[in-house]
Structure 1
Amino acid sequence: MKRSSILLTLFFFASVFSQNITFSKEKLNLLNEFNLENKSRAFLIYQNGKMINEKYFGKKFLNQQPFDEHSEWYWASAGKSLTAVLIGIAQQENLLHINDPVSQYLGKWTGMDKKEEDKITIKHLLTMTSGLDYTKDQKCESSQCYVIKNPAGSFWYYDTSAYSQLAKVIEKASHKTIDQYTSEKLAGSGISGKWIKYENGLVFSSNAKAFLQFGKLVLNKGKLDGKVYYQYDDYFRQMTDTSQNLNPSYGYLWWLNGKSSIRIPGIEKMFNQSLVPNAPKDMLCALGKNGQILDIIPSQNLIIIRMGENPNLYSNMIKFHRELWEKILE
């Protein structure tokens, strides 16, 4: 590539966000067509306090009713980001502290000796740095499956099995089921749904507007429709910032854009690039299997929701996310 072309490309990426992201009718049609072609079920765009796109596609499942605003869909791992908010609320209620050992709430929960087990804190689970052996059978629910691979806090790996202990921590600390705690603390927010069993953990399921309400709650730093659901304290500031130096693109169960490097699920290697290189640097994301996407861009007062099936059985969800943003910025 010629030097002039390289400079032009760099200039484009540097300058594209010096102006507002806008959505013409033609662009919205293009985006909706892209989502239709890629097995989306819901695609919402909310900007500057207004819904500017609300589209539903296809059927919830084969031979069922059309997917609409009332249809529920699982968030998959995007529900991890909801768990992070619930942990923050529980800490504000003095039910727990993220520097507490997980064993303080769960008792004996691993196959390790007590000394090593007690080194794993709630924060380690929030940041994917528990040190547990991620090569184990991720569907195993026995405590004996949880054994040490790296010292707690020394290595980052996307371990859903380890993360799943956080719901149990909330339940033990609050003396409520995770569904009860969620509905009680978010009552009136519009974030209605339920936690459902998925493999050896839980995922949240709701309609697309409830997913959007969650995005609005985080964008508004705990406030929604005149009600405060959590105080924007140090925990919540840290939740959407780099939480450790092992993966700059990860907060407390939130993905962060605009960082110099990233580790992604299922791979140990660090990549010297950001999550979505051509998207705004301040974007935070709740992301789940098969392309469940909640993108929040504070600088643009913008939220984007995508729910649906895997666009392609062999597709890369990171690639799909990036292609979506290429369409947004065309």
Structure 2
Amino acid sequence: MKKFFKILAVLLLLVLVYLRIEIYPQLDLISGFASKSVASGHFIDNRSLETIKQGDNDIDKIDWATNEIDDAERFVTSKVYGFKERKAIYREGLGATLINDDFDVSKPYETPKRTQLKRALPFPFGDLELKDTAFTNIDYQKLNTTVENAFDKKGIKNKRTRSVIVIYKDKIIAEKYDVGFNKNSKILGWSMTKSITGTLFGILQKQGKIDIDKPAPIDEWATDSRKNITLNDLLHMNSGLEWEENYEKISDATKMLFQAEDMGKLQLEKPKQFAPNTHWNYSSGTTNLLSKILRNKFKTHQDYLDFWYSSLLDKIGMNSALVETDMAGNFVGSSYGWATTRDWAKFGLLYLHKGNWNGEQLFDESWAKYVATPTNTSNGRYGAHFWLNAGGYFPDVPRDMFYASGYQGQMVAVFPSHDLVIVRMGLSEDFDFNGFLSEVVGSLKN
């Protein structure tokens, strides 16, 4: 019997050591993700805690957290079995921010100035009701069946699609939402936000305020081996800087999103591993560094906050859009952009029209070609802050398709050869995009 208890004690000790080494360090990230997710979903899109628990937060380990919402003070706290409490606060105009114990919640802060232009035009360029439009070259039965099949049947959580919209020649030809969602629901685009961040550089370049082929304007790099890294390299995820993008463990990406005060600083401080333009490495840190670079292009923080909306989001009527900030006040350009499905579609339409929005050229036509041209180290998968199908990643989908892509299968897909934009928002990356996209395209008769 004594031998049995000794063995049991050893096993228990081994379990405790495993929990301490492998699990305990992750609790900070788990409760951080949970509190940020609940705060954003609840205060931005008015979702209930139960809805968020059953949808956004029903992820392995994240569902360990218990969450409490304070509607009066507008914050959320989360713990994992009583350990590692984290807090996320909500501020109008800035969204939800995961904070640490040093953050001064009483400190005054600036918010973006928003402008909602009223135009007596139908979607996508104005606010009037849509006009029914029938195209003779569309197989509507096939299209509607394809869209219907993109959603789960009642009681099943497999495809986990929340919304789909299909726009052909600027007209909505199909639109569907899952239970609990509608055209006014704001949905997190995750890494689709990267494509928004990249677009701002195209706008600045058209305005003659930036040259992407010149070295990145970072003082800390001026005297070391990183001095020749260009904005072009950063936009292509081709800088050669060290970075680990892994969400299954504690990595550069998770430490940035759930612990860092200034998210752009992490990539800025990383050493160079490879020569620029020789090694493609997808990096959320790079995008937040680009957001930090944008901040330094403006004299005041207010100008920086306003620019994202006045030059792009509000300019094209993405009035529902909100990009959240980190503790330093910089936009989390890698991950935290929210908008309705229709507004995400407007972003795709901007690129379909090569930067022209109802007669106004926001970025040069050449920029649309630039973002959709493969970087030479990605095997046709990546351009400049957009994903590509140039290498046939989706074998049955047109090769000219390029798209903004986000965690859990968010997608804004642009098909220049078909005058088509398709948006799918959801909660699963296992979704059959090849089949879905090819079927939608196939509903357009030649």
Residue 72, structure 1, aligned to residue 193, structure 2: no
* Pick aligned residue for 1:96 from 203, 210, 214: 210
CA distance in 2, matches of 1:33, 1:323: 11
Q: 1:53 to 1:236 in 2, by over 3 A?
A: closer
Instruction: Kindly state the Cα deviation for residue 238 of structure 1 after the two structures are TM-superposed.
Output: 1.6
1:160 aligned to 272, 276, 284, which one? 284
Alignment of 1:133-144 (within 5 A): 133-135=242-244, 137-138=252-253, 139-140=255-256, 141=260, 143=266
Aligned to 1:322: 434
SS in 2 for 1:41: strand
The CA deviation string for residues 294-326 of structure 1, in whole angstroms up to 9 with x for no partner, is: 11111111110011222xxxx546xx3223235
Question: 214, 219, 226: which is aligned to 1:117?
Answer: 226
Matched, 1:303 2:421: yes
Assess, with a 3 A threshold, how the Cα gap between structure 1 residues 35 and 114 changes in structure 2: closer, same or farther.
farther
Do 2:164 and 2:176's aligned partners in 1 also have CA atoms closer than 8 Å?
yes
Where does the alignment leave 5 or more consecutive residues of structure 2 unmatched?
A: 1-135, 154-158, 245-250, 327-331
* Greater CA drift, 43-52 or 138-147: 138-147
Give the residue type in structure 2 aligned to 1:275: Y
Cα offsets for 1:64-119 (capped at 9, x unmatched)? xx2111111111111211222111111122222112322x2x4327xxx8321212
Q: Distance in 1 between matches of 2:336 and 2:219?
A: 24
* Sequence identity percentage: 23
Cα distance, 1:246–1:207 mapped onto 2, change above 3 Å: closer
What secondary structure sits across from 1:115 in the alignment? coil
Q: Return the TM-score normalized by structure 1.
A: 0.76
- Given candidates 171, 175, 185, the residue that maps to 1:50 is 171
SS, match of residue 35 in structure 1 = coil
Q: Is 128-137 or 208-217 further displaced after alignment?
A: 128-137
- Counterpart residue type for residue 215 of structure 1: G
Residue in structure 2 matching 1:180, options 306, 309, 318 = 306
> What number of residue pairs does the alignment pair up?
278
2: CA distance between counterparts of 1:137 and 1:200?
A: 16
Q: CA RMSD in A?
A: 2.6
Cα distance change of structure 1 residues 88 and 326 upon mapping to structure 2, 3 Å threshold = closer
Which structure has the bigger radius of gyration?
A: 2
Alpha-carbon distance between aligned partners in 1 of 2:181 and 2:378, rounded to the nearest angstrom: 40
Find 1:225's aligned residue among 354, 358, 382: 358
Q: Which has the higher contact order (CA 8 A, sep 6+)?
A: 1
Q: Specify whether residues 124 and 251 from structure 1 end up closer, same or farther in structure 2 by C-alpha distance, changes over 3 A only.
A: same
CA contact (8 A) 1:258 1:277 kept: no
Q: Distance in 1 between matches of 2:369 and 2:137?
A: 25
1:265 aligned partner? none
1:132 to 2:241 alignment: yes
